């Protein structure tokens, strides 16, 4: 930009061209151009105003002429001889039409209309208008008063006058109207318009020429610069001249001091009125005055001025076509050593700030970040550093200015300083430096603690101990993150005798500002991590449901780096069976936790259908695929692909366990004899990928076996792959005790990493078997007469179990279910009763048609059986099998809700 300005100024002085100057004037960017445009606009406005005024005057005169002429013609015709007699004749038109037209042609009006008192025309220039109603106001004329008005008539916009025609006794016997159009009257003004416009054009041309001459001269004087450029050039020149740390002196060809900046005044002790005087007359030492007046070239020429050694550089100003004279710069070489010392201190401070950027905030832990700040500043900057944070900040919340602070970190050159220890709850009073920093949000310097009564008032005894220990200076800096004050940092000095100064206070503020960002990030992370953990724990089972098929223990450990999507569940099913579920959503944070909650809810819903594991995983896979399609339509959403799941259903009657998995690690099985194996369960793709079916493995589990389900965080980490993790898990399981709780403890003690990078979910279930005497089963022929036999067998079995109180309701339930199976199902038909926590009645048939509960009408012969079953049973439903279905109903046991002992 500066080179462009110099080139434009040089071009303006040496190579001025008229055509280029005119183009610059017309461009409007320079001062001259803007003056030219301004003058031209003013002249143009004046010319336009004059033309408009003349036209308006001509129009006003035309209107007056039209009104006068139309009124005069109408009155003259109305008072002419024979008009009254003609109006009384049988045919006024025949008498008056020619006279009216003759009058119109002689007077130059557009029409002369004679009409009756009702406004019916007798005459008109256009014959087709005769006999029609007159357009205009006639009421004043009927009252004897003439009227003149501007109307839109049948021949256009016009001015017309209406006057009465009276007989000798003053009675109005008719009306006469004369009118002239504004177009006809305005002809005179139109004739004058060329003359007016010509005069205006001439005036505009003369004004433009004069303005161009003035602007061209102004353009030469301003070198074509615009006002913004000129203002900015002056501002830059003045700012640079007085801001540099070197003296600048400009002397003209005669040796007169033209300009000296502030630094030159300071170094040379120039008088205030020195500018405009000769350099030999302003009190300079002879050598410096001779150099400045000579104008010769000098490079780092040293002169002694008072107690300063000044290095002077001087160059002439006329070498590039400038005015004669010279410019000299003056630099104080005696300050170089002090500057060097300050540069070394500044370098050390920059290194400290660099180390702060690298060493503070290495973890997302609030306490550790505060400790890193204290460790960095001791002993490089202070002898002791303490960091006090609001307790809510440590928990990830917003700071509460009314709450107490807790000493989070303290580091010093010695460990016996009488300062508040780490963990101490502190409430600073308002007069203390820390209290004032927290209130005002600004750093505070106490150079001499012994003379600071506000600080001593915090704790008189401890303050005396601190001063006696040798701590004599303090800087307090609030930890600010935007508008939030998270706490306060105190820097204490004891070894160095000099107190802290303002520059050190600025460095402390910079250090704390950098640490505040890291502490606030750690606070936000702590808050989000706590929210995610809370969300995830709220979505996980708070307690296990009551059931007798399995003895269960579980552990859930969230990751240190962020909450993930690991989850598990225990779901009681019909027929005393229990479903075990373990799943994992890839990723961490709230999205993973929320997705886990959706999957867990879906498994809850699907398990109510009593589906085999492979079919349930297929439905879950389809649901995740739909979720991914919906999420893909949103820009900032993440897909769920990567979720895994293992679903197992254990039946205590048959001791069989059906297992299917979707991309999940295999389950572990600990046999009653302590042997550990990983059953061969076919692995399907992770949920959401689709395209491949899932397979179910059927395992027979001896009573007392332990089924171990887990997520990959237990067996995988960055140090080894899953095969090594499985072998380590096998070793841990072989050393665990028989109980599920002991198994969980041993596994986590041996496998949990020091800093878990992923969630760990562990579920251990020890199997129980329902004793044979707790199960009763009968085949049923497809004959309605067999229902009575079933009722009798049921009654005997209930008496044997001591459940006579349930005989009546159980007979009714089984009677309805068996009757439905005989009528609507298919052979074979079987009835089974289980004496578990509840009394379970099941009816099997080979049909896949499921009955539906409905209200039967008064005319229906059936349809009330299922309604009766629903009223008598606590729960009922349908379970589909590969060949048929089972309709089941549960009833609570009388007298107690306690489960019977397993195997009894």
Model confidence pLDDT, tens digit, residues 130-175: 888 888 888 888 888 898 888 876 666 788 888 898 888 888 888 8
Lowest mean pLDDT of 480-484, 510-514, 527-531, 629-633, name the range: 629-633
Measured distance CA(803)–CA(774) in Å, rounded? 12
pLDDT confidence of residue 635: 55
Measured distance CA(640)–CA(236) in Å, rounded? 60
Residues 667-682 have a mean pLDDT of 94
Residue 115 has pLDDT above 50, yes or no: yes
Largest Cα span, the chain: 149
Residue 29 phi/psi, 5-degree rounding, is -85, -30
Measured distance CA(890)–CA(841) in Å, rounded? 6
Residue 792 has pLDDT above 80, yes or no: yes
Question: Mind listing the pLDDT tens digit for each residue in 8-56?
Answer: 444 444 344 444 444 554 555 566 666 667 777 777 777 777 777 777 7
Residue 334 has pLDDT above 90, yes or no: no
- pTM score, two decimals? 0.53
pLDDT confidence of residue 846: 86
Of residues 738 and 629, more confidently modeled: 738
Angle, CA of 645, 647 and 648, to the nearest 5°: 150
pLDDT confidence of residue 185: 63
pLDDT confidence of residue 873: 82
Residues 551-568 have a mean pLDDT of 80
Residue for token pair 């397979």: 695
Radius of gyration in angstroms for the set of CA atoms belonging to the chain, rounded to a whole number? 54
Q: Which residues contact 35 (CB under 8 A, 6 or more apart)?
A: 211, 214, 215, 218
Measured distance CA(40)–CA(43) in Å, rounded? 5
In 10 A of CB 402, how many CB atoms?
7
Residues 196-216 have a mean pLDDT of 71
Measured distance CA(539)–CA(603) in Å, rounded? 13
Lowest mean pLDDT of 543-547, 624-628, 810-814, name the range: 624-628
Mean pLDDT of the chain: 81
Measured distance CA(782)–CA(785) in Å, rounded? 9
Question: Mind listing the pLDDT tens digit for each residue in 408-449?
Answer: 999 999 989 999 999 999 999 988 999 999 999 999 999 998
Residue 717 has pLDDT above 70, yes or no: yes
Q: In what order do the strands lie in the sheet with 156-166?
A: 111-115, 172-181, 156-166, 147-153
- The token pair at 134 is 């007159």
pLDDT confidence of residue 383: 93
Lowest mean pLDDT of 21-30, 426-435, 498-507, 805-814, name the range: 21-30
Pick left, alpha or beta for residue 503 (phi over 0 → left; psi -120 to 50 → alpha; otherwise beta): alpha
Q: Say how far residue 856 (Cα) sits from the centre of its chain.
A: 58
User: Any idea what DSSP says for residue 98?
Assistant: H
């Amino acid at each position: 930009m500066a080179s462009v300005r110099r080139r434009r100024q040089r071009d303006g002085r040496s190579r001025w061209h008229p055509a280029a100057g005119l183009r610059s004037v017309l461009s409007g960017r320079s001062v001259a151009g803007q003056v030219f445009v301004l003058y031209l606009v003013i002249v143009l406005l004046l010319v336009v105003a004059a033309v408009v005024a003349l036209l308006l005057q001509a129009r006003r005169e035309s209107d007056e002429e039209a009104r006068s002429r139309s009124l005069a013609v109408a009155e003259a015709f109305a008072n002419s001889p024979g008009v009254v007699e003609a109006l009384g004749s049988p045919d006024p038109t025949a008498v008056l039409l020619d006279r009216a037209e003759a009058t119109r042609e002689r007077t130059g009006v557009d029409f002369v209309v004679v009409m009756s008192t009702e406004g019916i025309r007798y005459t008109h220039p256009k014959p087709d208008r005769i006999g029609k109603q007159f357009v205009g106001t006639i009421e004043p004329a009927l009252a004897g008063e003439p009227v003149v008005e501007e109307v839109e008539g049948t021949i256009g916009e016009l001015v017309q006058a209406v006057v009465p025609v009276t007989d000798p006794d003053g009675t109005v016997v008719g009306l006469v109207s004369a009118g002239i159009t504004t177009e006809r009257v305005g002809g005179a003004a139109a004739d004058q318009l060329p003359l007016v416009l010509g005069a205006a054009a001439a005036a505009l041309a003369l004004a433009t020429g004069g303005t161009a001459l003035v602007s061209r001269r102004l353009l030469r004087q301003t070198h074509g610069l615009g006002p913004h450029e000129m203002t900015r050039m002056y501002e830059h020149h003045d700012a640079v001249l007085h801001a540099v740390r070197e003296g600048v002196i400009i002397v003209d060809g005669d040796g007169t001091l033209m300009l000296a900046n502030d630094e030159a005044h300071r170094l040379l002790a120039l008088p205030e009125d020195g500018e405009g005087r000769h350099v030999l007359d302003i009190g300079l030492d002879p050598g410096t005055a001779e150099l400045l007046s000579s104008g010769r070239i000098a490079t780092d020429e040293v002169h002694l001025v008072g107690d300063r050694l000044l290095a002077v550089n001087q160059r002439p100003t006329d070498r590039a076509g400038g005015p004669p004279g010279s410019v000299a710069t003056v630099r104080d070489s005696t300050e170089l050593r002090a500057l060097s010392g300050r540069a070394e201190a500044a370098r050390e401070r920059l290194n400290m700030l660099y180390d702060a950027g690298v060493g503070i905030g290495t973890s997302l832990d609030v306490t550790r970040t505060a400790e890193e700040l204290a460790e960095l500043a001791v002993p490089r900057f202070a002898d002791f550093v303490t960091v006090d944070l609001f307790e809510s900040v440590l928990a990830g919340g917003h700071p509460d200015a009314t709450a107490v602070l807790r000493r989070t970190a303290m580091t010093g050159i010695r460990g016996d300083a009488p300062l508040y220890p780490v963990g101490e709850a502190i409430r600073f009073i308002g007069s203390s430096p820390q209290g004032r920093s927290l209130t005002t949000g600004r750093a505070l310097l106490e150079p001499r603690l012994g003379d600071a009564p506000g600080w001593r008032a915090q704790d008189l005894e401890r303050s005396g101990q601190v001063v006696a220990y040798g701590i004599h200076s303090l800087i307090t800096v609030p930890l600010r993150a935007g508008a939030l004050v998270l706490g306060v940092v105190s820097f204490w000095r004891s070894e160095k005798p000099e107190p802290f100064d303002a520059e050190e206070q600025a460095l402390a503020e910079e250090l704390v500002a950098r640490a505040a960002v890291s502490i606030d990030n750690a606070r936000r992370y702590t808050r989000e991590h706590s929210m995610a953990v809370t969300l995830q724990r709220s979505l996980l089972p708070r307690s296990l449901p009551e059931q007798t098929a399995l003895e269960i223990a579980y552990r859930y450990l969230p990751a240190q780096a962020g909450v993930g999507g690991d989850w598990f569940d225990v779901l009681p099913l019909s027929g005393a069976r229990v479903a075990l579920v373990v799943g994992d959503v890839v990723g961490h944070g709230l999205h993973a936790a929320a997705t886990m909650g959706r999957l867990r809810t879906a498994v809850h819903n699907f398990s109510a259908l009593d589906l085999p594991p492979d079919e349930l995983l297929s439905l879950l896979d389809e649901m995740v695929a739909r979720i991914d399609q919906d999420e893909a339509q949103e820009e900032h959403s993440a897909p769920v692909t990567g979720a895994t799941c293992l679903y197992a259903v254990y039946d205590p009657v048959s001791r069989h366990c059906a297992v299917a998995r979707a991309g999940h690690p295999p389950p572990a099985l600990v046999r009653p004899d302590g042997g550990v194996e990983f059953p061969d369960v076919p692995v399907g793709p992770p949920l959401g990928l689709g395209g491949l079916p899932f397979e179910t493995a059927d395992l027979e589990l001896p009573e007392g076996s332990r089924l171990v389900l887990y997520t990959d965080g237990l067996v995988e980490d960055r140090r080894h792959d899953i095969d090594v993790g499985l072998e380590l898990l096998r070793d841990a399981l072989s050393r665990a005790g028989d109980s599920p709780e002991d198994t969980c403890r041993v596994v986590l003690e041996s496998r949990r990493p020091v800093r878990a990078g992923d969630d760990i979910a562990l579920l251990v279930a020890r199997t129980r078997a329902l004793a044979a005497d707790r199960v009763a089963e009968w085949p049923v022929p497809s004959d309605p007469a067999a229902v009575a036999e079933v009722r009798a067998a049921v009654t005997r079995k209930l008496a044997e179990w001591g459940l006579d109180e349930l005989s009546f309701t159980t007979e009714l339930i089984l009677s309805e279910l068996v009757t439905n199976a005989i009528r609507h199902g298919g052979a074979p038909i079987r009835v089974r009763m289980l004496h578990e926590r509840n009394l379970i009645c099941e009816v099997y048939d080979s049909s896949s048609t499921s009955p539906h509960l409905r209200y039967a009408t008064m005319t229906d012969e059936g349809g009330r059986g299922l309604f009766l079953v629903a009223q008598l049973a606590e729960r009922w439903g349908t379970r589909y099998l590969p060949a048929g279905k089972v309709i089941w109903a549960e009833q609570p046991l009388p007298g107690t809700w306690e489960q019977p002992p397993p195997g009894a």
